[in-house]
Structure 1
Amino acid sequence: MSPLWNYGKIYCSKITKQFILNKFPKIERIVALEFNHIYYLNVLSQELTDKLDDEFTIEVVLFSANHIPGSSMFLFRGYMGTILHTGDFRFNRSMITDNPILFPNNEAIQIDELIFDNTYCDPMFNFPTADIVAQQMINIIENNIKKRVLIAMGALGKEAIVMEICKYFKTKIIVNQEKYNQLIASSTKNIDLFTTDKKGNWYYRSHREQILQQYIESGQQNFICINTDFLMQSHRDPDGINYMVPYSLHSNYLEMRTFVNSIKPAILKKLVIPYENFAEYRRKVRINPVKGFQGYLKRLKTNGESGYSTLIRECTDFTKISKNYTNWMTEPKFRGLMEKLGVQLEPDRKNRKRKVDQVMPKPTIKQCIRELEKQCIYSKKPEKVDSLDDISNRLKATNNNHYITKFLKKPQQSQEVERRDEDEEIFSIIQEYLHFHDDDA
C-alpha cells in the first residue's frame, strides 16, 4: 500500500482504518466495519446494501483474529458458497464459544473453503499462551531484580504480556513516541501503564538490536534484555544479558488443529507459501545436504506427512461442499465475473517497460583488433575461429551499434571515393595484423 492507492474501496476494522490514516492521510475510500456484524456487499458496485438484493450481493462478516490490533478474519457467504479467510491469527477458545455467527449453538456453520494461517503448521511448534509467557518473564525479572530491564517484543499485539508484567511489579513501561501513538490509535486498554518519560526503570522497544546497541555504546552493563524467539525455544545467552521466551501472535499447531477441526471445511488452503518454493529462491540457493538429510529424517518420523497434509486428511470433509461453490468456482464463471468487475486477468504487454536503445560510441580500431585477438590468437580451438562477418554480427548484437560494420566488413563500391579509401585502409590494417600473428603461430 502507498499514498497513491487507487484500486477501489478498502474494507477493514476501525483500528486498521486508523492505522492506515495515520500513515497515509490522503487515502479516502476506507470503510470501517464492526466485528460480529453481518454486512451486505454488492460485488459489482463495491457498495454496502441493506439486504441481498441480487445475485452478486454477498454477506460479509468480520471476526477478531487475535493477532495485532485491528486484525480480522473475513467470512464471505453468497453466490460462490461460503469462504472463511483467517489472515494472520492466534486461536483462543472464545473464537468458538463467543461467536454466534460462525458457531451458532457451539457448532460451526457449513464452510466450503477455509484459507488459514499456516505459519507454524508443524507438530514441533507447541509454544505457550500469553499468560504462561508473562509468568516466564516475571520469573526472569525477579532473578535480576536489581538490573534495568529492556523488553524487545517486535510489532504491536504483544502489549497484553507487557501490561501483566507492569501490574505485577506495579511499575510503568517506557516507550518511544511512535509506539505510544500506535497504542493510542489501537485503543489499548490501560494506556496509563505506558509512558514516554525515560526516567523509569523499564524500557520497551520493538527491535532488540537497537536497544542493545544503545546500551552497549553508552557503557552500561547492569541490564538484561528479554526478547521473543521466533524459533519458539526458551534459552539464555552465555553473556547473561539476552533472554529468549517462546511466543508468537500466530497459532501453534495444536491451536491450529483445534480450530480447523471445529470447522471441518470441505476444502483447506494455506495462506503462507514457504519462500523455498519460489522459483527465484530455488535458482539462487545452494544445495545444503545437512538440511536435506534433516528433512528426510523428519519425513521418516511423520510417515511422510506434513502438518498441513495431516489436517487435510483428518479435519476436512469434502462431502459438505455446496452446489453454489461447485457451480461458481470454475474457470468460465470466474473469467466472466472478472470481466464484469473490469479486472484484467492477463497482463497488458503494451504496458511492459522496454529498455531504451542506448547509443553506444563507435568502436575504435584497438577494440576491433582486441576482439579479433580473442577469437584468432588466444582461442583454444583455432579450427572453430569465427569469420569477420560473424565477429561483426556479434559485436553489433552486444554493443547495439550498427557502425561496427564499417570497421570489420569490406566496404562496397561507392561513389564517395574518400570514404571508401578510409574504410579500405582500416580493413587492410586488420588483415595485416592477423596475417602477422598467423605467421608467428
Structure 2
Amino acid sequence: MTVTLIDSNHCPGSVMFLFDGYFGTILYTADFRYTPTMFCNSPLSTEKRIDILYLDNTNCDPECVVPSREEATEQIKEIINTHPEHDVVIGLYNLGKESLLIELALAFKTWIVVSPRRLQMFQLLRLSNVFTSEIGAGRIRVVDQNEINRFNMVRWNQTCPTIAIIPTSRRIKLAHRDIHVIPYSDHSSFQELQEFVARLKPCSIMPIVKGTACHVYFSQCLSRSDELKPIQVPETVERCMKKNSKHNEALPDRFLKSRPLDIPRGVVFESPEEGLHDCDGADDLCTEELSWCYASLKSFDAVVEQYFKRRNKRNVRNMFD
C-alpha cells in the first residue's frame, strides 16, 4: 500500500490522503478548499482512477453561497475602512485563516495583536513577522471566537470604539450591532466541489460530514465502476495481520486497559530522562512524562523502573495504578 499526502489548502499542515493498494484507490480529502492547482504536479494530475472519494461536504448545498477567500477578504477590508476610528477584534479558532490576518496587517499597516500562545505557534509556522503579543501595539486584535459576545462588546466599547469580525460561513446569531459575520471559509464552496468532482471523476463518493447526502449532486460526474469483485488480500498482508493479532493477545492487561488520564495530543520533544530530572518530587509528575510513557509501550517498564530508583516510591505507585 502507498499513502501520499497532498496539500489540502485548508489550515497550515492540512493534507489530503491518497491510499493506493490491493483494495483499489481511495482519496480522503479531510477539510479542504479546492483550488485548480491541486491537479498540477501532484498524483491527481495523472488522471488516476479513484474508486472511493471521501469528500469534505461542509458547504455541499446549492443554496449555500460561499465567496472566494479573496472576495471575503475584500468585504472585511471594506468594513474596517468604514470604521476608521474603531479598534478591530477578529474571532478565530485555534488554527486557520492566518493568510487573512497577514493580508489585513499589510493592507492597514498595523501589527496583529495575538495571545502569547498563538504568537509562539505562528513563529513555529514561520509566518510573516506581522504578529505581536504586546497589548495595544496594533489596531487589530485576535481573540477566540467564543469571546465575541454582547458582554465583551459592551466592555470593549467602554474603553474604545470597537467592531468585531467573525470570518466564518457558519450561521451565527448576532448578539450586538457591532459584530459582523463575513462568509470567509476554508472549506470548498458548492461550485468548487462540483468542479473538483467533475475533474476527479471518482467511482463513488462518501460524505465526511454525516447527515448530508451530497452524492446526489454529483451522480453525473461519477465514472462507471466495474462489477464489484471481492478484494483479494495478499498473503503477506494476511500473515502480518495474524502475527499482529497474536502479538496483541500476548500483551499484558495493563497495556490494554483504558487509562483515565487525559493525555494531550501532539509530540513531546523530550526524552524520559530529561523529564525525570525536572521534577522536584513524586507529586510533581507532569502530564508530558505520562504521555510519553503511555505512548512508548515498548519502554514503559524501563522508564517506570528508572523513576522508582530515583525516588522513594512516594505516592507514585498510586498514580500509575
Shorter-chain-normalised TM-score: which range? 0.5 to 0.7
- The counterpart of 2:6, out of the listed 58, 63, 80, is 63
1:267 aligns with: 204
Q: Within the alignment, does 1:317 sit opposite 2:260 as a pair?
A: no
Gaps (5+ residues) in structure 1?
Answer: 1-57, 278-305, 345-349, 354-441
Q: 1:316 to 1:167 in 2, by over 3 A?
A: same
Q: 1:76 to 1:220 in 2, by over 3 A?
A: same
| Residues 226-259 of structure 1: per-residue CA shift (max 9 Å, x gap) | 11244369x9x58431011012211111111211
1:128 aligns with: 67
Q: 1:213 to 1:326 in 2, by over 3 A?
A: farther
**SS of residue matched to 2:225:** helix
Q: Take 2:92 and 2:48, find their aligned partners in 1: how far apart are those partners?
A: 36
Q: Within the alignment, does 1:328 sit opposite 2:231 as a pair?
A: yes
**Contact 1:89–1:251 (CA<8 Å) still a contact in 2?**
yes
**SS of residue matched to 2:167:** strand
Q: Take 2:150 and 2:131, find their aligned partners in 1: how far apart are those partners?
A: 21
**Contact 1:112–1:320 (CA<8 Å) still a contact in 2?**
no
1:83 aligns with: 26
What amino acid does structure 2 have at the position aligned with 1:258?
E
1:99 aligns with: 41
**Contact 1:74–1:86 (CA<8 Å) still a contact in 2?**
yes
2:58 aligns with: 119
Q: How many Å apart are 1:340 and its aligned residue?
A: 5.0
Q: 1:109 to 1:198 in 2, by over 3 A?
A: same
2:142 aligns with: 204
What amino acid does structure 2 have at the position aligned with 1:113?
I
Q: 1:157 to 1:329 in 2, by over 3 A?
A: farther
Q: 1:337 to 1:217 in 2, by over 3 A?
A: same
Q: 1:90 to 1:343 in 2, by over 3 A?
A: farther
2:214 aligns with: 307
**Contact 2:19–2:26 (CA<8 Å) still a contact in 1?**
yes
Q: 1:319 to 1:308 in 2, by over 3 A?
A: closer
Q: How many Å apart are 1:310 and its aligned residue?
A: 2.1
Q: How many Å apart are 1:65 and its aligned residue?
A: 0.8
Q: How many Å apart are 1:337 and its aligned residue?
A: 7.3
State TM-score, norm by structure 2. 0.68
Q: Take 2:60 and 2:239, find their aligned partners in 1: how far apart are those partners?
A: 35
Q: How many Å apart are 1:86 and its aligned residue?
A: 0.9
What amino acid does structure 1 have at the position aligned with 2:14?
S
Q: Take 2:226 and 2:27, find their aligned partners in 1: how far apart are those partners?
A: 15
What amino acid does structure 2 have at the position aligned with 1:164?
E
| Residues 183-205 of structure 1: per-residue CA shift (max 9 Å, x gap) | 122332x1x11111112221112
Q: 1:246 to 1:320 in 2, by over 3 A?
A: farther
| Residues 54-80 of structure 1: per-residue CA shift (max 9 Å, x gap) | xxxx22211001112111111111222
**SS of residue matched to 2:35:** coil
Q: 1:352 to 1:204 in 2, by over 3 A?
A: closer
Q: Take 1:114 and 1:186, find their aligned partners in 2: how far apart are those partners?
A: 30
1:171 aligns with: 110
What amino acid does structure 2 have at the position aligned with 1:154?
Y
Q: Take 2:232 and 2:195, find their aligned partners in 1: how far apart are those partners?
A: 27
**Contact 1:232–1:246 (CA<8 Å) still a contact in 2?**
no
Q: How many Å apart are 1:111 and its aligned residue?
A: 1.2
The alignment-based identity, stated in percent, is 28
**Contact 2:50–2:202 (CA<8 Å) still a contact in 1?**
yes
Q: 1:254 to 1:341 in 2, by over 3 A?
A: farther
Gaps (5+ residues) in structure 2?
Answer: 248-252, 259-321
* Number of residues of Structure 1 aligned to a counterpart in Structure 2: 248
**SS of residue matched to 2:43:** coil
Of structures 1 and 2, the one with the larger relative CO (CA 8 A, separation 6+) is 2
**Contact 1:115–1:268 (CA<8 Å) still a contact in 2?**
yes
State TM-score, norm by structure 1. 0.50
- The counterpart of 1:252, out of the listed 189, 213, 216, is 189
Q: How many Å apart are 1:137 and its aligned residue?
A: 0.5
Q: How many Å apart are 1:213 and its aligned residue?
A: 4.4
Q: How many Å apart are 1:352 and its aligned residue?
A: 9.6
Q: How many Å apart are 1:155 and its aligned residue?
A: 3.5
**SS of residue matched to 1:244:** strand
**Contact 1:152–1:226 (CA<8 Å) still a contact in 2?**
yes
**SS of residue matched to 1:326:** coil
Q: 1:248 to 1:186 in 2, by over 3 A?
A: same
